[in-house]
Amino acid sequence: MHKPTAFNVASIALGLAFLYAPIVVLVVYSFNASRLVTVWAGWSTRWYGELLRDGAMLESAWVTIRVAMLSATAATVLGTLAALALVRLGRFRGRLLFSGMVYAPLVMPELIIGLALLLLFVAVGADRGFWTVTVAHTSLTMCFVTIIVRSRLLHLDPSLEEAALDLGCPPMKTFLSVTVPLILPALASGWMLAFTLSLDDLVIASFTTGPGATTLPIRIYSEIRLGVKPEINAICTIMLAVVGIAVVLTSLIMKSRDAQTIARAG
């Protein structure tokens, strides 16, 4: 490997500075004692205290966490089944439609997905609220899980499973005691990605939500439209910290190959 050139070092430094400077500013200003964003009045945790007294915000946070946990879990199960079907079943009737339906949501504008799901919920007369958001998020995020698990399955050594089968292990047991442990890193990162996608989603949640199920992004969005507020800086900092810590922890557990898969799945 050559010595890094000045140009390469500079482009990495500038690129990372561009990516992180705004986040650093936001975090620092969440600890500003002054209400005004323009004036720095020393460090303070005042806005975090205010946040704890904001009942509506806390309720939204609780709704969001429940939606994210439930939909990520459902998406991991569905996405894993879909990945197994794509990798292990070879050609089956309707495979083209199936893989089309798995890959399309990854790039399709969220607005269209949100609108379509809302119209479905209205057509079947479902009460919009907690469950409709959860189902909508499951549909979106299961596709991301499928991509991650599929890539892991493709790189799996089939002889391990064959050995278990040859030794008389039933297929179900082979799946649970050989395949699942082998794809566990992919399941973990898939769940994590589904969880953060659900946590962040504004557009699909706006379409599919109903009374009593205002998620955190929806509440933050309506506050942001009115301008910058230190309380919002504080809640954003907390969300960044939660996601950041979780992602770094998962990445320490899983192999870098999985991380690259996520990136490619985009």
Partner 1 sequence: MKSVLPGARLGGARVVVLIPYLWLVFLFLIPFLIVVKISLSQTAIAQPPYTPVLDLGRGWQGLKTFAAALSLDNYSLIASDSLYLVSYVRSIQIAAMSTVLLLLLGFPLAYGMARAPRRWQPALFMLVALPFWTSFLIRIYAWINILQRDGLLNQLLIMLRMVDEPPAWLASDTAVYIGMVYSYLPFMVLPLYASLEKMDESLIEAAADLGCPRWRAFWLVTLPLSLSGVIAGVLLCFIPIVGEFVIPDLLGSSQSMMIGQTLWTEFFLNKDWPVASSIAIVLLAVLLTPILFYQRMQTRDPSERA
Which residues within the stretch 177-196 sit at the binding site for partner 1 (CB under 8 A)?
178-179, 193, 196
- 217 binds partner 1 per the rule CB under 8 A: yes
Give residue 149's identity as a one-letter amino acid code.
V
Distance CA 264, CA 103 (A): 12
Q: Of 56 and 123, which has the nearer Cβ to partner 1? A: 123
Among 134, 174, 209, 214, binds partner 1 (CB under 8 A): 174
Looking at residues 136 to 165 of the shown chain, list those that interact with partner 1 (rule: CB under 8 A).
Answer: 136, 138-139, 142, 146-147, 151, 154, 158, 161-162, 165
Q: State how far the Cα of 156 lies from the Cα of 235, in Å rounded to an integer.
A: 41
Q: Is 248 in the site for partner 1 (CB under 8 A)?
A: yes
Taking CB under 8 A as the rule, does residue 172 contact partner 1? yes
Residues 101, 110: Cα–Cα separation, whole Å: 15
Q: Applying CB under 8 A, does 199 fall inside the site for partner 1?
A: yes
Q: What angle do CA 20, 25, 27 make, to 5 degrees?
A: 95
Near partner 1 in 66-95, by CB under 8 A = 78-79, 81-82, 84-85, 88-89, 92, 94
Q: Based on the shown chain and the rule CB under 8 A, indicate whether residue 112 belongs to the binding site for partner 1.
A: yes
Q: What is the DSSP string of 23-66?
A: HHHHHHHHTBSSSSSS----B--HHHHHHHT-HHHHHHHHHHHH
Largest CA distance in the chain: 72
Query: Within positions 10 to 69, which residues make up the interface with partner 1, using CB under 8 A?
Result: 10-12, 14-16, 18-20, 22-23, 25-26, 29, 37-38
Stretch that binds partner 1, among 48-56, 65-73, 226-234 (CB under 8 A): 226-234
| DSSP category for residue 5 | P
Q: Which of 35, 49, 100, 181 binds partner 1 (CB under 8 A)?
A: 100
CA distance 64 to 137: 11
Picking from 108, 111, 113, 87, the residue whose alpha carbon sits closest to that of residue 99 is 87
Least separation in angstroms between residue 49's CB and partner 1 is: 20
Looking at the Cβ atoms of 46 and 155, the one nearer to partner 1 is 155
Candidate residues 62, 244, 249, 253; the one interacting with partner 1 per rule CB under 8 A: 244
CA distance 147 to 151: 6
Judge whether 183 and 261 are in contact, CB under 8 Å: no
CB of residue 201 to partner 1, shortest distance in Å:
9
